Chains A and B, each alone.
Chain A
Amino acid sequence: MKFVLSVAAASMLFVATHGTAKADGYGAAGCGLGAMLIGSKPGIVQIFAATTNGIFGNQTFGISSGTLGCGTSPAAGVASAKSYVETNRQSFAKDVARGQGETIANLSQLGGCADSAAVAAKLQANFKTVFPSANVPDTQVSTTTVNLLKSDASLACSKLI
């Protein structure tokens, strides 16, 4: 049965359209979504990855693998905040421009910042600093963000020290 279904899935390859991927190797690109999704592999790999729900291309998230490579930990401060910003970049960019949103609320919590609304206002006012152009790398976005929040003492982001 499974065999037949798999053949059926394979025979449907022509309906699955996916852009060609340009994902950098894991690590070089930080923790961006593109670096973590198997979806970055074109064609047949994508089909079978979806069949099995195996979406992540590495063992970063094994339960017993210990310290997180890309992920957050309540204790981990700057590293967690950066990894979080990189993975959420597309949504985070919108929230920064809109001066509001859940990706900012959660970043404030990760950074131990006193007031999420103040963080949002600060980021919105500095949109062009954090996102100077479309092609700024994920890792630069996350570094700039963390530095921006750290540099403003009034935000009191206690975990970003």
Chain B
Amino acid sequence: MGRAIASLVIAWSCMACATRVVSIARDHLAPTSQRAELAYLDELLARARQLGLSGRPAWRKLLHYQPTWSGGVESEADGPSFFLAADGKVSPRAELEATLRGLFSAVQPGAPKDVQHPMCEFPARLLWLTRELHIDHERLPHPACERFAEFRDNLDAASATLVFSSYYLNNPASAFGHTFLRINSHRSHGDEERGLLDFAINFSASADTNNAVAYAVKGIVGAFPGEFTRVPYYLQVRKYNDFESRDLWLYDLALSPDELELLVAHFWELGSTWFDYFYMTENCSYHILGALEAVVPRLAFLEHTRVPVAPADTVKLVTDSPGLVTRVTFRPAIRAQVAARVRDLNRTERDLAGALALAPLTPWPDKLPIERRVKVLDAATDVVDMRFAKELPFDLEGPGAQRKQHLLERRAELAVRSLELRVPVPDDKRPERGHGSRRVGIDGGVTEAGEPTLGINVRLTLHDLADPADGYPDYASLEFLPITARVVLAEDRTRFRLDDAQLVRIASLAPLDPFEHRTSWKVQLGAVYLDDSGCHVCTAFRMSGGAGAALATAGGGLLGWVMTDVQAVSAVGLRGIDDAPIRLGVGPSAGLRARLTSNATLMLTGEWIWLPLQPTLASYQVTGGVRWRFSHALALSATGGLYNAGPSGQLGVYVYY
């Protein structure tokens, strides 16, 4: 299905990407005519056939071939310049032989400037073939390969690190997180402080339009080509840590020098092609795994990915590979930096920092020693950076920029060095420590009518507020396809009923603190079970959302929120506004969560919805529950609810996998 859609859109999308398609090398190569070279080529071709090289997993992975439905293979690379054989996309053998022939060819005079000799364009294939066939480079042509050499020298690879950028709830679309690779140079040797100048290799969809309508349409049909790019690591830090306030987790990889050389060469190869970008499957994290697998064929990542490919799951695959990760480090986002600076202040100083962040010229109180002024000013400046993160890069005239300037001028006048900020590493939030991203559960209990019931629930991904906290954001819930269905064992007959089937359900709670007042919000879209006077035993489509405020205790042990909700409901047989099958409502909702232990959570929620001009004037719902994780992947759940139709309750068990 995905493939079918893909092939439909390729033709269309490439009208747009044609502007930056690189020339196709095979159209501009002339085969060798030298007898000695031809003889050596024949020898290599024969040896490759004899060894069955094109069937080797290493070759398959280097060319990104994947099995197809019909039993063949097809490369996931979609740019035609990635293949030297016309049928290279579907034929590993033809491509291997065309690559060997390509090594002995010459670029025709007058070819476009971007055409590279195959030895330069496919240095990873050359490395691998050389190792397998013991190719004597003295007997090959000697193209200069300046561009590849510049790329390789700039990266100056000493090691590689996988970087996970954490969940970003404030933009639903990137809520799952992101991964990329950092190539650590010999200059930095993986030292985080010195590593800003190293390069990140990032896979992302390329925006080839600034037109919002075109962007939306192409986003919807998945028509963006995904490309590997080389980005300065400092740009990633500025974007993720500062602009979006996302923590970075770094996993140093144990790659041998040979593997690392192959990785750099392979990224060069990938630079000349693109992969159609699929948000759920062939996304950023998928192709980063694919590139790692291509150079370390013993790793079998891709066959273990699942749909959707969640970035945190790919981190788990990497950390679960024995010996692959040598060290895990952490780079705190601006929000975590503020928290660390504020922890270092006493109450008066904290108030002062808050006041300075609003009014940067607030005078110093008497007798505040200079080293404390330094700490207060440094905290206040970070607060301004956090609060105005989205404005500062664009608006040098705004209040954020003005306040920051005043604070920094005062800070520079103190003329002493700040101590380096040490942010404690929240090891319990390492993404690979989180519960499994999928969940299934069964339960038993009684319905609102007092009938016994058995339920089953599934969730495709990822986390809700009552799930175990390790590895996930404290105040966020992000669920795709949570579905609960139940069998009601009534006296007269056994019924099936769909309780809840959401496409998506997100809550982003942002507890208010003295330094930041962000809105808490939630949104969900899907089907719900209703039983009231306006809709008797019906399954209704519902779109709802809410916005409000949250509060939490210092460690997050107790969390509460209040919101104003709005909803639109529609179902066959529903009597709503003017007896039309549409129900519109608005009303308050609230919730409370207590973390009893790190593995046990108590949740209480309630909502009251006013349904003006409708037969049912209001609906309400109160739920309470306890969830207790008693082993790594298992949790017990007890819930009770009260709504228009009456009280209900269930006991159940969840499995995270």
Interface pair B206/A128, CB less than 8 Å apart: no
Interface pair B174/A61, CB less than 8 Å apart: no
Interface pair B228/A9, CB less than 8 Å apart: no
Q: A9-B172, A63-B271 are in contact. Are A15 and B545 (CB under 8 A)?
A: yes
Interface pair B390/A124, CB less than 8 Å apart: no
Interface pair A88/B234, CB less than 8 Å apart: yes
Interface pair B378/A98, CB less than 8 Å apart: yes
Q: Does B18 contact A (CB under 8 A)?
A: no
Report Cα–Cα, A131/B547, bound state, in Å: 39
Interface centre among A37, A40, A45, A72 (most CB of B within 10 A): A45
CB distance from A160 to the nearest CB of B (A): 15
Report Cα–Cα, A5/B508, bound state, in Å: 18
Q: Does A27 contact B (CB under 8 A)?
A: no
Interface pair B239/A33, CB less than 8 Å apart: yes
Q: A19-B390, A56-B229, A128-B412 are in contact. Are A49 and B279 (CB under 8 A)?
A: no
Contacts of A121 in B (CB 8 A): 417
Q: Does B156 contact A (CB under 8 A)?
A: yes
Q: Does B320 contact A (CB under 8 A)?
A: no
CB distance from A47 to the nearest CB of B (A): 5
Q: Does A36 contact B (CB under 8 A)?
A: yes
Q: A44-B212, A62-B271, A91-B242 are in contact. Are A15 and B523 (CB under 8 A)?
A: yes
Interface pair A45/B215, CB less than 8 Å apart: yes
CB distance from B325 to the nearest CB of A (A): 23
Interface centre among A59, A67, A73, A97 (most CB of B within 10 A): A97
Interface pair A100/B417, CB less than 8 Å apart: yes
Interface pair B171/A54, CB less than 8 Å apart: no
Q: Does B405 contact A (CB under 8 A)?
A: yes
Within 8 A of B (CB), among A21-68: 21-23, 32-34, 36-41, 43-57, 59, 61-64, 66-67
Contacts of B20 in A (CB 8 A): 59
Q: A15-B172, A15-B523 are in contact. Are A64 and B381 (CB under 8 A)?
A: no
Interface pair A40/B394, CB less than 8 Å apart: yes
Closest residue of B by beta carbon distance from A41: B210
Interface pair B417/A98, CB less than 8 Å apart: yes
Closest residue of B by beta carbon distance from A5: B279
Interface pair A135/B396, CB less than 8 Å apart: yes
CB distance from B386 to the nearest CB of A (A): 11
Interface pair A37/B390, CB less than 8 Å apart: no
Report Cα–Cα, A78/B480, bound state, in Å: 49
The 8 A CB mask of B400-437 against A (1 = contact, 0 = none) is: 01101101110110011111100000000000000000
Interface pair A90/B154, CB less than 8 Å apart: no
Interface pair A109/B222, CB less than 8 Å apart: no
Q: Does B151 contact A (CB under 8 A)?
A: yes
Q: Does A153 contact B (CB under 8 A)?
A: no
Interface pair B525/A99, CB less than 8 Å apart: no
Interface pair B207/A49, CB less than 8 Å apart: yes
Closest residue of A by beta carbon distance from B228: A63
Interface pair A109/B207, CB less than 8 Å apart: no
Interface pair A6/B219, CB less than 8 Å apart: yes
Report Cα–Cα, A71/B230, bound state, in Å: 10
The 8 A CB mask of B198-212 against A (1 = contact, 0 = none) is: 000111111100101
Interface pair B405/A133, CB less than 8 Å apart: yes
Q: Does A110 contact B (CB under 8 A)?
A: yes
Interface pair B232/A87, CB less than 8 Å apart: yes
Interface pair A99/B416, CB less than 8 Å apart: yes
Interface pair B397/A53, CB less than 8 Å apart: no
Q: Does A103 contact B (CB under 8 A)?
A: yes
Q: A12-B523, A74-B154, A74-B187 are in contact. Are A50 and B219 (CB under 8 A)?
A: no
Interface centre among A67, A98, A136 (most CB of B within 10 A): A98
Contact of A90 among B227, B242, B267 (CB under 8 A): B242
CB distance from B113 to the nearest CB of A (A): 10
Contacts of B408 in A (CB 8 A): 93-94, 96-97, 127, 131
Interface pair A62/B229, CB less than 8 Å apart: yes
Contact of B154 among A55, A73, A105 (CB under 8 A): A73
Q: Does B561 contact A (CB under 8 A)?
A: no
Q: A33-B239, A50-B168, A128-B409 are in contact. List 15 more A-B contacts (CB 8 A).
A: A7-B220, A16-B171, A21-B394, A44-B216, A48-B215, A52-B277, A54-B205, A61-B231, A63-B229, A97-B409, A99-B417, A100-B417, A131-B409, A134-B401, A136-B396
Interfacial residues, chain A to chain B (CB-CB below 8 A): 1-12, 14-16, 18-19, 21-23, 32-34, 36-41, 43-57, 59, 61-64, 66-67, 71-74, 84, 87-88, 90-91, 93-94, 96-103, 105-106, 109-110, 120-121, 124-125, 127-128, 131, 133-137
Q: List 28 A-B contacts (CB under 8 A).
A: A5-B504, A7-B220, A15-B523, A19-B394, A23-B394, A34-B393, A37-B239, A38-B207, A43-B212, A47-B219, A48-B219, A50-B171, A52-B279, A56-B229, A56-B235, A59-B20, A61-B230, A64-B268, A64-B272, A84-B197, A90-B392, A98-B411, A109-B197, A124-B415, A125-B412, A134-B402, A134-B404, A134-B405
